[in-house]
Amino acid sequence: MKTKILISTILMLLISFGFVAAEFSAQAGYDWLAAQGSAETGFDGDVFSTSLAIMALDEGGYDTSSYEDWLYTQMDPETYCFPGAACTTKDTGIAVVALQEVQDDTYFDDFEGWYGNALQGATFSGDWLLEIATSATGSCTFEYEINNQSTEVEVEISEGTFPGCGDSNFLKLDECIQQNLIKNNPGLLLGIDCGDLEGDIVMTLLYKSATTYFLLDNQQSDVAEFKINNGCFASSASGSCHEESSLYSNWALDLMGSDVNSLIYLKENYDDSSPLESSIMYMITKDSAYLDDLVDYQKTDGSFDRNVFVTALAVLAMKDLSVDYLDEIDDAKSWLREQQTGDGDWNANIEDTALVLYAAFADEGVSASTCTDGIQNQGEEGVDCGGPCASCDGEADQCLFDTECTDLKGEGYQCIEGSCVYSITAGCVISDDCDFGEACVGGICMDTDCDSDGFCDYSTSNENAQNCPSDCYCGDNVFDDYEQLIGCSSDEPEVVVEPDCYGDSDCGSGFECVFGECRIEEKEKGGFGWIIWVVILLLLIGGGFFLWKKGYLSSILDKIKSRGKKQAPFRPPYTPGMPPGATGMRPPQRQSPMQRSIQQARRPPIR
């Protein structure tokens, strides 16, 4: 009985520990993330990390103004990109996403201009086409500018076909307007004037790959202007095409409502087995086909690529159509919960933690820390200073009176040792904070009259060891509020712990009182002896089965049986003429001399 209870208890403890170890807390995640930030360095002094942290903290209700200020210090004030020392399209893109999150579009036009200049030429295997639907015959004027030089080209059209371009319904811009016009000029702005044609006119810009037509723009007018985004983005402002950088760049450009993009490059190079690509492509295009590709690659454990960052990004994308992907989102969030560490972070990584909180758990009802809550938290170096708050340097000697703190920081702040400190009670901390004739009791200024009678009248006259040291002191057996603040073990009331029981009758059935505690009654003794007998029995059964299987058992049993029978004593065979007890053998007889001579004569001669 005792052993069974012991085993059950251990199992319950192990199970309970497993649940505790796996406990998820969005608040712990936000607390960890907030503690990593600094008003002076952002998050790790990194634009990408700080941008993601701003997104998460803002979504959680935190004040991110100091981080936004730091982020702007990293912007190149002339080219408007991030980080100023060595701008990248990816960092600039995620910074734009973060600023969009906090609704700061101050420099969006400048960011768009930088991206327009950063668009690089890309190699495409397909054709750039223009269709003009019309029943009229005449000509249209095409106008474009290259290197600040404007060019106009007249193109004949007859009821929607182009006589000068093989009578096709599609005008190949790289052949019929100017050789490699689009290929060599990424982001070209092409103006078309078909004002001389009568009737309704619809112009459509397309790109035809080896297998697919992509509809890029469609305008019902006799005058139109098309932005032909035939380029890509490198990792920096110039260089060769880089797909991940192009993804983040297009995400930012879409949020800014820009007509600059590199979608054709992304679509031609799209890998439908990449959850990261599918997620960002959906957020750019809002085409649910990318989400269908995404969920096809969700792992059985709910993750995507078993990667925290990628899984969080997938949740962010699916949230837009959460009704259609409820199960997939729940599975992914469950996996993310399991990946949280005991400190509240994910992989001890700012980017992973920030994106998980922003995408999946910002709606968990977290309590945002601030720089005015009077608590040293969120990585602050002091109370409401340092870390994400203003520097603690220079905070000393900022006040002489409580009224200065009230004017400077608002109600509830008091001047303590030259610094404005928030008091939760908005009353007092020590008696010096109160007016003359008052004492600080329980955080409230109360009238007191120290009568110096040698008795500490704390409960009646509010005397304490601070305002009436003649009557109240450490050792007077009165634990007043001032001693509670500074400590006084001799006056502190002794905590008496009552026993759970005094006898077995105080405990329930099956329990006994042992040293004041109700414990399970021990009815069986012997420890683990029964386990040993069970093991021996199992070994005997197993050994017997083995001997029987090998055929040895019957042989052993036969030998045991033969040993069990009583054997009769050996009796030699009876020889007639011999007395009983004789052996039946004649004793050797002595030979005569004649017999020996005859025997020797019969032996063969020695040669």
Contacts of 219 (CB under 8 A, 6+ apart): 202, 203, 204, 226
Of 21-35, 222-236, 493-507, 532-546, which one has max mean pLDDT?
222-236
In the sheet that holds 171-172, the strands lie side by side as 171-172, 127-133, 202-208, 213-219
Q: Closest Cα to residue 269, out of 277, 261, 279? A: 277
d(CA 241, CA 230): 12
Confidence (pLDDT) at 93: 97
pLDDT of residue 599: 63
pLDDT-derived band of residue 42, with 50, 70 and 90 as boundaries? very high
CB–CB of 53/35 below 8 Å?
no
How many contiguous H segments (helices) and E segments (strands) does the chain have? 20, 18
Residues 6+ apart with CB under 8 A from 521: 510, 511, 512
Q: Which two tokens stand for residue 458?
A: 């704390």
Which residues does 67 contact at the CB level (< 8 Å), separation at least 6?
Answer: 37, 39, 42, 43, 50, 53, 54, 57, 388
- CA dihedral sign of residues 183, 184, 189, 195: negative
| Residue 2 CB neighbour total at 10 angstroms | 15
Q: Each residue of 500-518: pLDDT tens digit?
A: 787 887 887 778 888 778 8
For the stretch 145-156, pLDDT in tens is: 999 999 999 999
Query: Distance between CA 600 and CA 602 in Å, rounded?
Result: 5
Give the tokens for residue 161.
Answer: 């076909």
DSSP classification of residue 294: H
pLDDT score for 455: 85
Q: What are phi and psi of 438, to 5 degrees?
A: -115, 155
Structure tokens given for 100: 């969009």
pLDDT-based confidence at residue 574 (cuts at 50, 70, 90): very low
Q: Report pLDDT for 374.
A: 72
Work out the number of other CB atoms within 10 angstroms of the CB of residue 473.
16
| CA distance linking residue 205 with residue 191, whole number of Å | 12
pTM value? 0.60
8-state DSSP, 467: T
**What local confidence, expressed as pLDDT, does residue 506 receive?**
80
Buried b (16+ CB within 10 A) or exposed e, 520-544: eeeeeeeeeeeeeeeeeeeeeeeee
Cα separation, 516 vs 499, in Å, equals 5
The Cα–Cα gap between 260 and 113 comes to: 9
In angstroms, the Cα distances linking 523 to 101, 461, 526 are: 68, 60, 10
Residues in the chain: 607
Residues 247-282: tens digit of each pLDDT: 999 999 999 999 999 999 999 999 999 999 999 999
Could you give the C-alpha distances from 568 to 421, 559, 565, 579, in angstroms and in order? Answer: 112, 18, 10, 22
Average pLDDT, the chain: 82
Q: What is the 3-state secondary structure (H, E, C) of 503-571?
A: CHHHCCCCEEEECCEEEECCCCCCCCHHHHHHHHHHHHHHHHHHHHHHCHHHHHHHHHHHHHCCCCCCC
Q: What is the pLDDT of residues 429-473, one digit of tens each?
A: 666 667 666 666 556 666 667 777 788 888 877 788 877 877 888
Distances (CA, A) of 221 to 189, 206, 428: 17, 17, 75
- Is residue 17 predicted with pLDDT exceeding 70? no
Q: How far is CA 564 from CA 118, 557, 558, 559, in A?
A: 104, 11, 10, 9
Of 373, 372, 390, the residue nearest 381 (C-alpha):
390
- Comparing 259-263, 536-540, 579-583, the range with the smallest average pLDDT is 579-583
The single residue listed with the structure tokens 């009248």 is 457
Q: By mean pLDDT, which of 30-44, 105-119, 185-199, 529-543 is the weakest?
A: 529-543
pLDDT at 593: 57
Give the mean model confidence (pLDDT) for residues 184-196: 93
Which amino acid type is present at position 373? D
The token duo for 223 is 């005058």
Contact between 167 and 173 under an 8 Å Cβ cutoff? The reply is no
